[in-house]
Amino acid sequence: MKQLSILGATGSIGTSALDIVRMHPDRFQVKALTAANNLPLLCRQIAQFLPEMVAVLDEARARELAGMLGSGFRPQILSGHAGYEAAAAWDGVDMVLLAMVGAAGLRPALAAIDAGKQIALANKETLVMAGDIVMAKAREKNVAVLPVDSEHSAMFQCMQGNFAKDVKKLFLTASGGPFRNTPKEAFAGITKEDALDHPNWSMGDKISIDSATLMNKGLELIEAMHLFDISHEHIQVLIHPESIVHSMVGFTDGSVMAQMGVPDMKQAISFALSFPDRLDLDLAFPDFAALSSLTFHAPDVSRFPSLEFALAACKKKGTLPAVMNAANEVAVAAFLDRRIRFSDIFTIISTTMDGHTCIDNPDLSGIIESDQWAREKAGSLI
């Protein structure tokens, strides 16, 4: 039985993972859970899965959670960065599902790797910010980093049974989000509700906005580069509105393998949690007879410059990817708070990146300092 620590238990990935645990109680046991703010849901999860420990955002929420649990089952309750890192390194845990949103996932990821835990990675920002450091540490500790993003899981699945040396190109698919046909001049009028209404996938707020701006694909491009040790020049982003082909891998002999399925994150999550096995999830297959076509086309970077930002970060490397990510997090949060327009997200990211003096080959402290600088710079622009 695999012992799990789920960081980000109340988000869309975390709740889907717990659905899988509920479906397969003979395969998984939950040892640790973390959440930021959704304490009512966390209480229900604690009552059902009986973890040994939980971690929440801060001491105030830890006290509130303790009060909500009352005289019933009560795990050890920790808080803050130290609490998240303790959950990642918790004794007896075999695998850590990193489903936290944003830069907050980096330190727990490193704590898990240092403790020798296998990683199921849904937090793409960890590799965007510090991919070289994280993957080097994983190799040093002989820790597997298994992708949970549907696109990276698709590539990983296509690579099984093949030699890494034979991989020539990665095709990273994107639905195009809710505004793939929206004129650029209409972007300033896009509302929060419009942007959260994704046509194919059910995701958290931040990832939904990233999908709407195509920044999600920029982050995933950098993540794929580190996960699969491949140059950005060999990764192509394709808009695929049907979201049936989750990504593809091209090989040296010209053959291309695609992984397909209905747009449901449980498949990618379960593959990481159970690898190399597959679990019965009772998911439907795509209705191929009803599909009139599967279409692909190049993204329009004039309307969605996020991919250009990501390519610039890939080429420059150093601290620029962390700066891009931090500026995006700040801008997306401001848009969700209705403090800026949708179109302002691109301007804030671009201006922050242009104002950064990049550090080559940074250590972790240099990455953290650049992340903080970018947050302050983006905040001043807002």
Q: What is the pTM of this model?
A: 0.94
What mean pLDDT do residues 68-92 have?
94
Please provide the average confidence, as pLDDT, over all residues in the chain. Answer: 95
CB 231 within 8 A of CB 224: no
pLDDT of residue 202: 67
| Phi/psi-derived region of residue 88, left when phi > 0, alpha when psi is between -120 and 50, beta in every other case | alpha
Sequence length of the chain is 382
Which is more confident, 329 or 37? 329
- Taking the CA atoms of 60, 64, 67 and 69 in sequence, report the sign of the dihedral they define: negative
In whole angstroms, give the CA distance from residue 149 to residue 352: 27
How large a percentage of the chain has pLDDT more than 90? 94
CATH architecture of 2-147: 3-Layer(aba) Sandwich (3.40)
User: Helix, strand or coil for residue 81?
Assistant: helix
Question: pLDDT of 118-140, one tens digit each?
Answer: 999 999 999 999 999 999 999 99
Question: Hey, is 302 helix, strand or coil?
Answer: coil
Which CATH topology does 317-382 take?
Rna Polymerase Sigma Factor; Chain: A (1.10.1740)
**103 — pLDDT class (breaks 50, 70, 90):** confident
Cα–Cα distance measured from residue 349 to residue 249, given in angstroms and rounded to the nearest whole number: 30
CA pair distance 103, 373, nearest whole angstrom? 13
Query: What are the pLDDT digits (tens) for 145-190?
Result: 999 999 999 999 999 999 999 999 999 999 999 999 999 999 999 9
Q: What pLDDT was estimated at residue 201?
A: 63
Which one has a higher pLDDT value, 274 or 74?
274
pLDDT digits (tens, 9 = 90+) for 274-324: 999 999 999 999 999 999 899 999 999 999 999 999 999 999 999 999 999
> What's the pLDDT score for residue 232?
95
DSSP conformation letters of 91-135? TT--EEEE---GGGGHHHHHHHHHTT-EEEE--THHHHHHHHHHH
Q: How far apart are CA 220 and CA 228, in angstroms?
A: 12
Does the structure show a pLDDT above 80 at 105?
A: yes
Q: Which pLDDT score, from 0 to 100, does residue 302 have?
A: 94
Question: What does the pLDDT read at residue 199?
Answer: 73
Q: What is the pLDDT of residue 72?
A: 79
| Amino acid in the structure at residue 185 | E
205 vs 210: CA distance, rounded Å: 9
Q: Which two tokens stand for residue 119?
A: 């990683």
Q: Phi then psi for 3, rounded to 5 degrees?
A: -95, 125
**CB-hemisphere CA count at 13 Å for 30?**
28
The pLDDT score that the predictor gives to residue 154 is 98
Domain ranges of the chain: 2-147, 152-264+283-307, 317-382
- pLDDT at position 77 over 70: yes
Q: What is the CA radius of gyration of the chain?
A: 20
Q: Positive or negative CA dihedral for 235, 237, 238, 241?
A: positive
- Tell me the angle at which helices 320-336 and 205-213 cross, rounded to the nearest 10 degrees: 110
β-bridge mates for residue 29, sequence order: 3
Confidence at residue 197, expressed as pLDDT on a 0 to 100 scale: 84
Give dist(CA 50, CA 110) in Å, integer: 26
What does the alpha-carbon distance between residue 34 and residue 76 come to, in Å, rounded to a whole number? 12
Interatomic CA distance for residues 177 and 207, integer angstroms: 11
